[in-house]
Amino acid sequence: MRTSLILILLAMLGTSGCASVKIEPWVKPYERANLADPIMSFERDPLAASYLQHVFESREGARGAVGGSHGGCGCN
Amino acid sequence: MKKTAFIAMVAALLLAANAWSAKTTLLHKPAPDFTLKSLEGPNIKLSELRGDVVLINFWASWCGPCRQEMPLLEELNTKYAPMGFTMLGVNVEQDSTAAKSMLAELGISFPILFDDQNSVSESYDVIAMPTTIVVDRDGNVQYVHHGYKPGDEDKYQDAIRSAIRQ
Amino acid sequence: MNTRYLLPTMLTALLSAGVANAATLPEDRTDLLYHSYEGDGADINGPALVVRKSFGDKVSLSGKYYVDSVSSASIDVVTTASAYSEERIETSFGASYLYDATVFSLNVTNSDENDFLGRSYFFSVSQEMFGALTTLSLGYGRGDDTVSRNGDDVFEDEIDRQHYQLGLTQVLTKNWIASVDYEAITDEGFLNNPYRSVRYQDDSTRGYAYESELYPRTRTSNSLSLRTRYYLKHGAALSFDYRYFSDTWDIEAHTVGVGYVHKFRDNWTFEAGYRHYTQTQAEFYSDLFERPQAQNFLARDKELSSFSNHMGRVGVTYAFSKKILPFVERGTVNLYFNRLRFDYENFSDLRVGAPVGEEPLFGFDANVIQFYVSVWY
């Protein structure tokens, strides 16, 4: 398990870190009109979303990985 | 064990991130020329403004910081227009409906151009919204700024002043 | 788990990435929510308020106040205890700091009930990279809870909880964004519900008796989720969410959600969604044990049984841009209605008279209402 992890890590290092590949952003900042629309956000209203998660968590065995505050559209 | 996996994933992602590199800058090079139609109707060609200091601001109605700086750009325009200065607002949206209603609301008087094909945004390497460029009297790029935070308007003003003084 | 090196490693790594693109702090907004849950004989409602404000261009602070007013005569209460009412008050304080393309956040939360005291903090770092196409976030949290039991002055125990989060949000196309999140949670301490009992067969006329639940004192869970949003034409978007969950108690769960949002004219947004949840039981769960102390660990908590639920959701948002107050720029008024149906596969409804072991299975419906007003300034 540990060895395989190190191998994966080395592989990723080989394909990205050391190679001088330039990755162009395929969605430019000026092309984010739709992504910037609030209907595309994972959490339009954080308080309402966290309340609903609380409803689920107190009645279900599962928990976690429900996302959080991190944005992601890069629409600044 | 779990922790090792966690750190490994993070490290891999960050290594990948380091491979990212931005394009070479436009700074101190001739500003790419363009012709775009304006809100008022006629086309505006950058090279025809040679002799003036030109500030080009790439903006969109969906971009919060752009909305925030618009009135401040208007102020700069009013202040420096008599000294051989032109402000150009380049809207990057395909559909300009929202942009037009925003301009009407804010009462913007400087020329607004529509880069609905994004070709100008591409040639100016707009890597953040908004992006602000100052072109000197000889048509060279003097100043490039990505994004907007309150206070950045002072940097724009400094760049305009130094270009006018040259 | 030794966590001493984890945070410094995360921080150094993030800062050395240094691929600048302007990240942003959360928006300045205030939300006032009224929430109501009605189902299985329980009524839980109350207000909640979150205020967020930035100071300068680097710091954003937030405060939260949340109340659950509970009056419960749920199946657990009816069959083994008496109806009760209580109040839970949660307060939290958060601070975010923007450094280049990185946002650091710290959140401290206090939760207060007459038989439960929760104190937790959560630290997270999120960073934009690859021309802001990718956002990576890392989080670590810790909770210290004190559990007591009403009517029992002697009993008091603790729970120590740790969270590890890793999230990656990726812009895929101009119209498509996806996010993958992983979270590991470890608990140590008193993990039982202090009021619930297990039942076992005996020779009484009823055919069964009760004894206390007994859970392991440790639990570790792993969750992996995929969330995605797709923009359709004309102000409409589709969402799809999936989460896989498993833990060391042998619970395995799947959550699937789909949603549709549609903007109408300038001011209205309509939303509809469906969510399905299903889980397997904890290994030490049984609806009816054969004898007392049948095994090391014992549970008959329905949250640890095999069950599934469905939820339908509809909501409407009205946006206004008038300055209702001098400092307010815009706002929304929102109303959401959620209906849930729970079906238990091995948790019997003991309120119904039937020979032991032949009782009908339990199930219930619940209505959840959220009404809130949000303003941005």
Which residue range forms the structural domain that includes residue A43? 32-61
pLDDT score of C69: 93
Could you report the average pLDDT of every consecutive run of 10 residues in chain C (377 residues)? 50 44 79 96 95 92 95 84 86 93 93 92 91 90 92 91 95 94 96 90 91 95 96 92 97 98 93 98 96 95 96 96 80 97 96 88 97 95
Q: What is the ipTM of this complex?
A: 0.91
* C213: exposed, middle or buried (Cβ count in 10 Å: 0-12, 13-18, 19+): buried
pLDDT score of A10: 47
pLDDT score of C6: 52
Q: Which amino acid is at A47?
A: L
- Region B102-106: what's the mean pLDDT? 88
Distances in whole angstroms, Cα of residue C39 to Cα of each of A30, C131, C276, C370: 47, 47, 18, 15
pLDDT score of A76: 53
Which one of C133, C277, C374 has the shortest CB-CB distance to A74?
A: C133
pLDDT score of B24: 54
Position B3 pLDDT exceeds 80 = no
Neighbouring chains of A at 3+ CB pairs under 8 Å are B, C
Query: Which residues of B are less than 8 Å from A37 in CB distance?
Result: 62
Residue A18 C-alpha, separation from nearest chain C C-alpha, in angstroms: 14
Query: Which residues of A are less than 8 Å from C173 in CB distance?
Result: 26-27
Q: Which CATH class is domain C3-376?
A: mainly beta
* Most C CBs within 10 Å, among A16, A44, A47, to test the C interface: A47
Binary contact (B127, C21; C-beta < 8 A): yes
Q: pLDDT per residue over B37-87, tens digit each?
A: 999 889 999 999 999 999 999 999 988 889 889 999 999 999 999 999 999
Position B135 pLDDT exceeds 70 = yes
In chain C, where does DSSP find H-type helix? 6-17, 75-80
pLDDT score of B89: 97
Nearest to A23 by CA among C16, C170, B26, B23: B23
pLDDT score of B161: 95
Inter-residue contact C152 to C15 (CB < 8 Å): no
* C209: exposed, middle or buried (Cβ count in 10 Å: 0-12, 13-18, 19+): middle
Domain ranges of chain C: 3-376
Q: Does B21 touch chain A (CB under 8 A)?
A: yes
Specify if A50 maps to a domain. yes
Specify if A25 maps to a domain. no
Specify if A49 maps to a domain. yes
Specify if A46 maps to a domain. yes
Binary contact (A16, B19; C-beta < 8 A): yes
pLDDT bracket for residue B166 (50, 70, 90) = confident
Cβ within 8 Å of A, B 26-45? none
Number of domains in chain A: 1
Order of strands, edge to edge, in the sheet holding B53-59? B112-114, B85-91, B53-59, B131-135, B141-146
Inter-residue contact C225 to C181 (CB < 8 Å): yes
pLDDT score of C266: 82
Neighbouring chains of C at 3+ CB pairs under 8 Å are A, B
Q: pLDDT per residue over A29-76, tens digit each?
A: 899 999 989 999 998 999 999 999 999 999 999 999 997 655 556 665
Binary contact (C334, A45; C-beta < 8 A): yes
Three-state DSSP class for residue C343: strand
Distance CA A60, CA A49 (A): 16
pLDDT bracket for residue A18 (50, 70, 90) = very low
Query: Which residues of A are less than 8 Å from B122 in CB distance?
Result: 28
Three-state DSSP class for residue B65: helix
Query: Which residues of A are less than 8 Å from C227 in CB distance?
Result: 42, 67
Query: Which residues of B are less than 8 Å from C17 in CB distance?
Result: 14, 17-18
Cβ within 8 Å of C, A 17-46? 23-29, 31-35, 37, 39-42, 45-46
Specify if A48 maps to a domain. yes
pTM of the model: 0.85
pLDDT score of B17: 52
Which one of C3, C6, C129 has the shortest CB-CB distance to B17?
A: C129
Tell the residue number behind the tokens 């009908």, with chain if given: C360
Nearest to B10 by CA among C244, C121, C161, C124: C124
* Closest-approach residue (CA) in chain A for B115: A30
Specify if A74 maps to a domain. no
Specify if A45 maps to a domain. yes
